[in-house]
């Protein structure tokens, strides 16, 4: 199975900050990676798919990059609505795995 | 607008079978795509359980494969999850979701989730 490792596990930031979350795969997954945002008590929300494609309706301050084994999610200017937990998820060989999550907290 | 709604018992006894159904509205399952189940233990991360194509083709998480069955009923526009021999470790919020691809990939529409507790 492919393991997904996110870092950091918790991130403290202020409104307006540029935030970067990293996701590493235990083996190459090409660009088969998605990013989700989850708020307490709610279902995850798709932000990015195929490593860098922005889902319709998602603000352009969110961007994704990377390929192979290392990926990043960047929030260019953190907004109050962005404090949440973020998960990466890989697809490879008909099996899906999620990263452990990164909680973005208010500094 | 695509909507998904999970339903099923909120409490299941250890060693019994957990059964959930996901009703889909706003999109016909027969039109295509994969449909998946994902779970999240309280305070923990997300775990993919498995996915099914409208034709019935399935893919399961290898760690759960021996206990999982996912089926689809296109006439009712719904799909279902059965997880056998449950233990307390299966206590989680269970989500159903749509995978807008021709193979298991990612999930763009999610249900609100339903908490299933395994306890005697």
What's chain A's average pLDDT? Answer: 96
Instruction: Tell me the average pLDDT across B30-59.
Output: 95
Contact of A68 with A85, CB cutoff 8 Å: no
Looking at residue B55, the DSSP 8-state letter turns out to be T
Three-state DSSP at B67 gives helix
Residue A36 has pLDDT above 90, yes or no: yes
Q: Please report the residues numbered 22 through 41 in chain B whose beta carbons come closer than 8 angstroms to any beta carbon of chain A.
A: 36
pLDDT, position A50: 95
Alpha-carbon span A102 to A70, nearest angstrom: 15
* 3 state SS for A48-92: EECCCEECCCCCCCEEEEEECCEEEEEECCCCHHHCCEEEEEEEE
Alpha-carbon span B12 to A1, nearest angstrom: 29
Residue range(s) defining the domain that contains residue A43 = 4-106
Q: What is the CATH number of the domain that holds A65?
A: 2.60.40.10
Spell out which chain A residues touch chain B, with contact meaning CB-CB distance below 8 angstroms.
1, 32, 34, 36, 38, 42-46, 49, 55, 87, 89, 91, 94-101
Alpha-carbon span A5 to B65, nearest angstrom: 23
Return the exposure string of B44-82: e unless at least 16 CB atoms fall within 10 Å of the residue's CB, then b: eebbbbbbbbbeeebbbbeebeebbbbebeeeebbbbbe
Residue B102: pLDDT band by 50, 70, 90 thresholds?
confident
Residue A66: pLDDT band by 50, 70, 90 thresholds?
very high
Residue B112: pLDDT band by 50, 70, 90 thresholds?
very high
Residue A37 has pLDDT above 90, yes or no: yes
pLDDT, position B104: 83
| Phi, psi angles (nearest 5°) of residue A89 | -150, 130
Instruction: Tell me the average pLDDT across A37-62.
Output: 97
Contact between B48 and A99 using a beta-carbon 8 Å cutoff: no
Alpha-carbon span A90 to B67, nearest angstrom: 23
Largest CA distance in chain B: 41
Instruction: Tell me the average pLDDT across B3-27.
Output: 97
Residue B8 has pLDDT above 90, yes or no: yes
pLDDT, position B47: 98
Instruction: Tell me the average pLDDT across B81-92.
Output: 98
Of B46, B51, B63, the CB nearest to A44: B46
Instruction: Tell me the average pLDDT across A9-20.
Output: 97
Contact between A91 and B105 using a beta-carbon 8 Å cutoff: yes
pLDDT, position A94: 85
When divided into structural domains, chain A yields a total of 1
Residue A1 has pLDDT above 90, yes or no: no
Share of chain A above pLDDT 90, in %: 93
């Amino acid at each position: 199975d492919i393991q997904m490792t996110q870092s950091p596990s918790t991130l403290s930031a202020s409104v307006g900050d540029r935030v970067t979350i990293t996701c590493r795969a235990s083996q190459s997954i090409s660009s088969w990676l998605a990013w989700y945002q989850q708020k307490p008590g709610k279902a995850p929300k798709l932000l990015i798919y195929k490593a860098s494609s922005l889902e319709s309706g998602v603000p352009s301050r969110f961007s994704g990059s990377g390929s192979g084994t290392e990926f990043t999610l960047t929030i260019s200017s953190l907004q109050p609505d962005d404090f949440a937990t973020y998960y990466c998820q890989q697809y490879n060989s008909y099996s899906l795995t999620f990263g452990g999550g990164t909680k973005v907290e208010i500094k | 607008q695509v909507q998904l709604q999970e339903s099923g018992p909120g409490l299941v006894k250890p060693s019994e079978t957990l059964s959930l159904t996901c009703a889909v509205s706003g999109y016909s399952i027969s039109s295509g795509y994969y449909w998946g189940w994902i779970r999240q233990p309280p305070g923990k991360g997300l775990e993919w359980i498995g996915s099914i194509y409208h034709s019935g083709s399935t893919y399961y998480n290898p760690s759960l494969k021996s206990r999982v069955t996912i089926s689809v009923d296109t006439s009712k526009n719904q799909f279902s999850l059965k997880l056998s021999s449950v233990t307390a470790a299966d206590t989680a919020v269970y989500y159903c979701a749509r995978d807008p691809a021709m193979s298991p990939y990612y999930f763009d529409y999610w249900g609100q989730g339903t908490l299933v507790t395994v306890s005697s």
